[in-house]
Each structure stands twice: as structure tokens, then as C-alpha cells.
């Protein structure tokens, strides 16, 4: 397949769909922005794409909880279609509010008989965090992160605190290779706030499902696709491209191999 097709899902309040679409276009994909209601009416629309992106923003105003309403739509109306999409060896990416949605829909970590194993709660700082963070990557089987060791990208969220129901669940996710991104300092060390901007357990910034083909992350790689988007580009010199672009290029190249 020469040019994979991406569907970027729109929903009321999701305001990062254009940035996500542009990042995928820059990486070489064809992109269609589509409203969740259109997919609900005809789930077969997913069959036209190889990549589904659920972007950041504040879907449905985060009125119940961040990403919760959109997650309920996924669970009640699109569950079978989304799982089939993944099982067809296609890719799903959730960024920030999209991560919250995928996690609460059970697409990243399925619930057990007692309910969800993990969620994303309010930042421990008690405020909205809008800052640049360093990430340490352990890509494992996740195609989005192939060849990536470090990323420097911004976060912008109020509910990014990754919390598991039990401590052993965090260890199990790590051992299973599902913890693929952690907050770290510029020299790669783990630390508290503000290195970890939200208090996430085990400094978790992003997780994938057991297949590696569904990725959710709180930081915004689509906001660092040009080198001039970095706040210190004049001090450190102009690089060929922004560090976040490789995430989107990896997804595109997954279908060209």
C-alpha cells in the first residue's frame, strides 16, 4: 500500500483534529476528518482507513469526566467495529483527550469483572498543566514509536494522572511491554513534579494495548512537527524537523513496509 488513509475523528469540543490531520498529511498519508456521529451511523466507514486518530481537546466539554462521553459512545455503539479495526492489523492513536477516551472505552486496557483497571484522573498539582516535557520511550512492539528513544513535546491537560486500581497492575503493564512512554528529565532521569507534570504512577505518559497497535499518550506530538515550534529553537539551533513528526511518519511507514 503506497499511501495509507487516516480517519481523524471529530467530536464536539475536540479541537486538535486539524493539527493531527496536518501532521499525518505531512508524514505522507491521505487524511479525512470525520464526525463521530457519521461513524456511528455507518461504522463501515472505518473500513476505508488504515489508521484512526482520536485527537486532543475537550470532547463534549469533559462534562462528566475527560473523554468519558466519547468513550461511552465507543463502548455502546462502536465497540465491535473498533476491535475489528484493530484486529485487522490497523493502527489507532489517541492523543490527550483521545488517550482518555481510548482508556475509558477499554481499548487500551480491557476492564475485568470489577471494572476498569486504570484511569486518568486530575493532576496532582490541582491545576491545568501546559508545559514542555521530556519523554523516555520503550517502543517494544508499538509501531508508532519505532526507533524513538526520547521525545520533547508539550502537554496541555487537567486530567492526565495515570492511576491503576492496584499497584500490581502497574507492574504487570510494564512487564507486558504496554508502558511505552514515561516522563523523564532532560538527562533521562525520572523525577517528581514538574518532570512528571501530573503525578502519574510510574511516571507513565503513554501506554499501548497488548498488540502494540493501539497507542494512547497524554503529550501532544502534533504540536512539535516543525522545529520552530520548540520554544528554544533559536538558542539550540534549527533542527531538520520537530521531534513529534516521527510518531506520525512511523504510522504511515508501517503500511509501506
As a whole number, mean pLDDT of residues 217-231 equals: 97
The residues annotated as belonging to the active site are 96, 220, 222
pLDDT of residue 20: 98
pTM for the model: 0.97
**Mean pLDDT, residues 185-194:** 94
Query: With bands split at pLDDT 50, 70 and 90, how would you rate the model's confidence at 1?
Result: low
Residue 42: CB atoms within 10 A of its CB come to 10
Q: Where are the beta strands (DSSP E) in the chain?
A: 5-10, 30-35, 51-54, 91-95, 118-121, 129-137, 150-157, 161-164, 179-184, 204-208, 214-217
CA distance 35 to 59: 12
Which domains does the chain carry? Answer: 5-254 (3.40.50.880)
Beta strands in 102-203 (DSSP E): 118-121, 129-137, 150-157, 161-164, 179-184
How much is the average pLDDT of 157-186?
97
**For 32-85, how does the pLDDT look when each residue is reduced to its tens digit (9 = 90+)?**
999 999 999 999 999 999 999 999 999 999 998 999 999 999 999 999 999 999
For residue range 121-136, list pLDDT tens digits in order: 999 999 999 999 999 9
Amino acid at each position: 500500500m503506497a499511501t495509507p488513509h487516516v480517519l481523524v475523528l471529530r467530536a464536539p469540543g475536540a479541537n486538535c483534529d486539524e493539527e493531527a490531520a496536518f501532521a499525518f498529511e505531512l508524514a505522507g498519508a491521505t487524511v479525512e476528518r470525520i464526525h463521530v456521529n457519521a461513524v456511528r451511523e455507518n461504522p463501515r466507514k472505518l473500513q476505508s482507513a488504515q489508521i484512526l486518530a482520536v485527537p486532543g481537546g475537550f470532547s463534549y466539554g469533559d462534562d462528566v469526566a475527560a473523554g468519558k462521553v466519547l468513550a461511552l459512545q465507543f463502548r455502546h455503539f462502536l465497540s465491535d467495529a473498533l476491535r475489528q479495526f484493530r484486529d485487522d492489523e490497523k493502527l489507532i492513536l489517541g492523543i490527550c483527550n483521545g488517550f482518555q477516551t481510548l482508556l475509558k472505552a477499554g481499548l487500551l486496557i480491557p476492564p475485568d469483572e470489577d471494572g476498569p483497571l486504570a484511569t486518568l484522573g486530575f493532576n496532582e498539582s490541582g491545576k491545568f498543566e501546559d508545559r514542555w516535557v521530556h519523554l523516555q520511550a520503550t517502543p517494544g512492539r508499538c509501531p508508532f514509536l519505532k526507533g524513538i528513544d526520547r521525545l520533547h513535546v508539550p502537554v496541555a491537560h487537567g486530567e492526565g494522572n495515570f492511576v491503576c486500581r492496584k499497584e500490581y497492575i502497574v507492574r504487570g503493564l510494564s512487564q507486558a511491554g504496554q508502558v511505552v512512554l514515561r516522563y523523564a528529565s532532560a538527562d533521562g532521569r525520572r523525577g517528581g513534579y514538574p518532570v512528571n507534570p501530573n503525578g502519574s504512577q510510574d511516571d507513565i505518559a503513554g501506554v499501548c494495548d497488548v498488540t502494540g497497535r493501539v497507542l494512547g499518550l497524554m503529550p501532544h506530538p502534533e504540536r512539535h512537527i516543525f522545529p520552530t515550534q520548540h520554544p528554544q529553537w533559536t538558542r539550540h539551533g534549527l533542527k531538520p524537523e520537530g521531534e513529534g513528526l516521527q510518531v506520525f511518519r512511523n504510522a504511515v511507514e508501517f503500511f509501506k513496509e
